[in-house]
């Protein structure tokens, strides 16, 4: 049985092909530029040549692509976008037009001159990935499922804070089912407010197999929990330090005991350590994070987590985990454990997707769980906790 997992981030898209006939360490994997980085580079090339652009396709991850599009407009070069593509930059299209991007209907887009370069926006390109694997004699025509992870703020109503809207969604999912896997959905069951998750389904509409989608942050935390050292701790904080967002889950035997989410660019090490200690002892308040330009915080479990002397009750993953570098730190600094599930930190999100797939696809659960349990000395599996 094969399952393709793709964790789509800001800097990279991390691709892991699970094969139940192989140890996970022997699975095939690719670390490639993220779709938003690829669009960023294409727009930058067009800006250099002063080529007008038309952006079509689906809503996808912003960040680098948005910065490049805005710079293209500031350079005085025409740039157009269809409504769905424009939502990549903001769900409120009037704000996109204030960036200098002209919104056009699909019919109007077809009438634009052929001299305008077309760029199709999408977060997932199955054909491109399949071609790479096929060239290495690994066809993807027998997949049991595809699992994708993207970060989604959700489509907040006008006048509602995107940060608060996102955090309300996290709270709702945790209260509905206190599990990191609660952030995974079958492609037909995604909440209407999660527009990027729904858009990535459109990018994958021609798949030959079922599709599951998940938020990147809990996927990474769930994957990190399969590191043997992390798994051996019944209670812990797992922190994923992403390129744009940092999220921390306090986990115990009953599930998620607390959570906070912030913007990586708004925190330094001392501030993050302060928040982690407050999450551990239960004193962290929603306003502490939200008023600091983060998303928010909630405590569900009353019993404080007493951090050990070596701080390995705090487990860190993510591309910006160097924030916890051991160079030139104070004696009081947190020195966390750096998770590497199945020997590879970059696969944390993919392993989390795989674990969530066992919940989402009951018929596939047995081989997935057998493979994940084979980590060796990893203690209680998350679905048994």
Domain segments of the chain as ranges: 2-32+126-220+348-384, 35-121, 230-339
* pLDDT given at position 310: 62
CATH code of the domain made up of 230-339: 3.30.420.40
pTM score of the predicted model: 0.93
CA nearest neighbour of 339 among 250, 237, 214: 237
What is the tens place of the pLDDT at every residue in 185-210? 999 999 999 999 999 999 998 898 99
Spatial separation of the C-alpha atoms in residues 208 and 6, rounded to whole Å: 16
Spatial separation of the C-alpha atoms in residues 116 and 103, rounded to whole Å: 15
Average pLDDT, the chain: 93
Q: Which residues contact 221 (CB under 8 A, 6 or more apart)?
A: 180, 238, 240, 247, 249, 317, 348, 352
Q: Which residues contact 143 (CB under 8 A, 6 or more apart)?
A: 2, 3, 4, 207, 208, 209
234, 312 contact by CB (below 8 A):
no
The yes-or-no verdict on residue 82 having pLDDT over 60 is yes
The yes-or-no verdict on residue 89 having pLDDT over 90 is yes
CA nearest neighbour of 77 among 111, 45, 38: 45
* pLDDT given at position 333: 83
> Domain 35-121 - what CATH class?
alpha beta
* pLDDT given at position 375: 57
| Model confidence band, residue 377 (pLDDT cutoffs 50, 70, 90) | very low
Mean pLDDT in residue range 217-245: 95
What is the tens place of the pLDDT at every residue in 328-343? 677 778 889 999 999 9
DSSP character at residue 31 = E
What is the tens place of the pLDDT at every residue in 113-167? 999 999 999 999 999 999 999 999 999 999 999 999 999 989 888 889 999 999 9
What is the tens place of the pLDDT at every residue in 363-374? 999 999 999 997
* pLDDT given at position 205: 87
Q: Which residues contact 355 (CB under 8 A, 6 or more apart)?
A: 181, 222, 223, 226, 368, 372, 382, 383
* pLDDT given at position 301: 87
């Amino acid at each position: 049985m094969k399952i393709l997992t793709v964790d789509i981030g800001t800097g990279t898209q991390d691709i892991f092909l699970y094969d139940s006939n192989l140890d996970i360490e022997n699975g095939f994997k690719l670390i490639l530029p993220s779709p938003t980085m690829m669009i960023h580079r294409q727009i930058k090339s067009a800006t250099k040549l002063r080529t007008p652009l038309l952006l079509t396709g689906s809503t996808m991850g912003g960040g680098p692509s948005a910065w490049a599009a805005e710079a293209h407009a500031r350079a005085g070069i025409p740039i157009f976008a269809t409504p769905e593509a424009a939502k990549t930059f903001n769900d409120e299209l009037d704000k996109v037009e204030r960036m200098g991007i002209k919104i056009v209907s699909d019919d109007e887009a077809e009438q634009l001159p052929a001299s305008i370069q077309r760029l199709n926006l999408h977060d997932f390109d199955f054909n491109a990935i399949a071609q790479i694997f096929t060239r290495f004699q690994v066809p993807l025509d027998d997949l049991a499922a595809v699992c994708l992870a993207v970060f989604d703020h959700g489509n907040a109503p006008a006048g509602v804070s995107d940060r608060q809207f996102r955090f309300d969604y996290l709270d709702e999912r945790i209260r509905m089912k206190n599990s990191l896997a609660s952030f995974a959905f079958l492609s037909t069951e995604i909440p209407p407010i999660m527009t990027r998750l729904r858009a990535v389904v459109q990018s994958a509409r021609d798949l030959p197999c079922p599709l599951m989608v998940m938020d990147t942050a809990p996927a990474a935390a769930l994957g990190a929990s399969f590191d043997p050292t992390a798994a051996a701790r019944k209670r812990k904080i797992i922190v994923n330090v992403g390129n744009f967002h940092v999220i921390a889950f306090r986990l115990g035997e009953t599930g998620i005991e607390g959570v906070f989410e912030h913007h990586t660019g708004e925190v330094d090490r001392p501030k993050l350590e302060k928040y982690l200690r407050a999450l551990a002892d239960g004193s962290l308040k929603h306003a502490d994070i939200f008023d600091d330009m983060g998303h928010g915080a909630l405590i569900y479990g009353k019993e404080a987590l007493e951090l050990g002397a070596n701080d390995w009750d705090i487990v860190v993953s993510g591309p910006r985990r160097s924030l916890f570098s051991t160079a030139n730190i104070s004696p009081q600094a947190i020195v966390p454990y750096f998770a590497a599930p199945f020997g590879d930190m970059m696969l944390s999100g993919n392993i989390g997707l795989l674990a969530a797939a066992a919940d989402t696809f009951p018929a596939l659960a047995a081989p997935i769980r057998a493979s994940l349990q084979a980590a060796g000395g990893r203690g209680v599996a998350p679905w048994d906790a």
